[in-house]
Amino acid sequence: MMRPVRLSSLLLALAFASGVTACGDQVTKVVAGDVTTGSDVPLSDIAPGDGVIDTAGPDAIGPDVPAGTGRLEFVQIKGDDGLSCEGTDHCKIKLSFAEERTVQVRYLENDSPVLGKNVRFEIQADPNGLGQLTSFSAPSNSDGIASVGVRSAQAVAGTFEVKVTVSDAGVAPLFFTIEVSSKIQVPLTIIGEYNGVRPEVVTYKARIYRETGSAKPTCDDIEKLFGSTSDWESADHNLFPLVQSITKADFVDLQNDSPQKYTIIVYSTKANSNLVLAWGCDDENGTVSFGQGTTVTIELLDRPPKYAGTYKVTSIFDLVSALPPPIDTIVDSLLELFKSPVGGALDLMCSFIGDVSVIEDVCGFIFDDPTNPSTDELTSTGGIVVNILDALIKSLAKGSIFGDVLAVGGDISDMLTAFTVSGLITILQEPDADGVWVKGQLREEWSSVTVKWSLGQNCDPFTDTNCGKQEFGFGAIQSGSPVSAELTGFVDDFFDLTIDLHPLNVAYGSLLDYILQNVLLPLLAGDGSDGGPVINSYELLLKSLVGGKDCLKPGFPKTCCEAFSDSVIGGGANIGKTLIVSACDAFIQLGATTISDQLNNLGTDTGGAFQIGTMMPCKMIDPDQNLVIDGFGSPGQPCLWDVRLKVFGASTTIESMFWGARL
């Protein structure tokens, strides 16, 4: 009876001495001096210091690959210390005495996951024998992932490492640093991340909001949620230079009321201020349970500024730049008339209505080349006429108007080439998460026109930019519906505003005609304040130009053209006088009607003919850095409008710029 026992003991001793026992294809090993058997042993049956079974055997699944083509990487993105495991060979795991954790790695060849690769796990740097694994090897799955369980074999605080390798010599190992602690597992750990552009973001806090049957806080409206009462708020923790994790260990009655679901906000404020610069939110992963730890990583994003509000917008347009021929020549000649009186008068007479035979005769009488009139190329008789016209222009200065007009010629040009419109852009609500405003959230309205006329004003136009400015309501210029539009647009990078191209009900021709006749001409030629006639039409302007303003007074014995003829060749009847009077009458009649009709028939009043939007993103500004937009552009650095005008069926553009300030 005793012999079989002694024989079996001998066989067992021989097996231990060889280190290997064969039983079919199964291979068992002695690990770290511990005995393993040919079958798996439950983790609960392994006493501290006992071995752990490795039944996977050598790399029987999948061939070895040449050195350098394979690699191991951590599946876990961050360790329990909040530091990244990606791109490193160490990752930290925290264990409590009664806790078991799974450690995972991924095996790849040429950056592709490999199925069936045998991955080995080995405990090292463990002088107190704390570490215990469920297996010393595991094959990789279809995602290349191999995993084993790890726990503490003793209720003793300390650390050990788990080294992870494959058989290929060229594959670098990975190391899990396992920290064993007697502390109860922290239910919630929050880790903040920040990759924004604001250097003031260096610390962060966390707030949690519990989800119950009646209250389910979400991240859909973080502004609203942040303004509500939270269930808990942390102290400040560092984001830089190293991220500090935020932990919460005490939850009300978590042992009996588990699990609990929370929405989490992390945020960073400006130093010595409550102004939130960046924040993030998670309403999915904040579930805490008794005896378990949950780690939630949340990225803080730069908080967008406040946009909603009303902004006073100043737009400056070059109204002449969009005029098609021959209207551009007409308006240019009118402007030239006051900037260079003789040249303007000759242009008006011989350029734009030179196809009338009687005027052609007069132009041929004055210019060497009547098809291309120039004051530098006059006939001998034309020189006399120019001198007479100079005298007539000077006579227009009666009542102290034109002699001083030449000194403020820039004002005249600016009225049309720097035409100023005031209005409002109202942002009714904040943009969506993509920075977009849809129709109904932005509104534009033009309210008034400002012109500048510094003549006779008690101010210095060279030092006072507001000298002589006069404002006219748009209702007087364009009757009917107000000039307004519903806009769409978006903002990029918080400060780059784009307003989409949109139609605006501007009667461009009527606007230009109104300014010329009702604003520009009275200011230039007479508004009646001196007791003289009011010059508020093209016809009256041309008549006063050729005959002087006296010819417009009631009871004057001659027509303005007759007075002009008498001034040129004297009184009495002759063929020359008749020619001049006929040419003058034709000039006044055709000139006045041509200008007005051409302007009012621009055809821009309907059909979205006037369209406007930003030419390029307009820079919004927040100079006091309180995350409330104060305006966009500035007089020194204006934004540019893209203005498109359809005139006579053809599209043209208007040179323009703008800026705005919050009211």
Report how far apart, in Å, the C-alpha atoms of 65 and of each of 143, 175, 250, 327, 642 are. Answer: 18, 22, 51, 82, 63
Residue 104 · residue 159 · CB < 8 Å = no
CA triple 57-63-65, angle to 5 deg: 120
pLDDT band at 341 (very low <50, low <70, confident <90, very high): low
Residue 279 · residue 267 · CB < 8 Å = yes
Length of the chain: 663
Answer yes or no: is pLDDT of 114 > 50.
yes
- Sorted by sequence, the CB contacts under 8 Å of residue 231 that are 6+ apart come out as 208, 209, 210, 262
pTM for this structure? 0.56
pLDDT for the residue 304: 93
Please count the other Cβ atoms lying within 10 Å of the Cβ belonging to residue 268: 25
In angstroms, rounded to a whole number, what is the distance separating the alpha carbons of residues 587 and 358? 9
- Average pLDDT of span 583-587: 85
Tokens of 605: 């009043």
Report how far apart, in Å, the C-alpha atoms of 522 and of each of 340, 453, 514, 527 are. Answer: 18, 11, 12, 5
Answer yes or no: is pLDDT of 7 > 60.
no
Residue 162 · residue 150 · CB < 8 Å = yes
The lowest-confidence range among 81-95, 475-489, 627-641 is: 475-489
pLDDT band at 346 (very low <50, low <70, confident <90, very high): low
Q: What is the pLDDT of residues 407-465, one digit of tens each?
A: 444 555 566 667 788 999 999 999 998 999 999 999 999 988 887 666 566 777 667 77
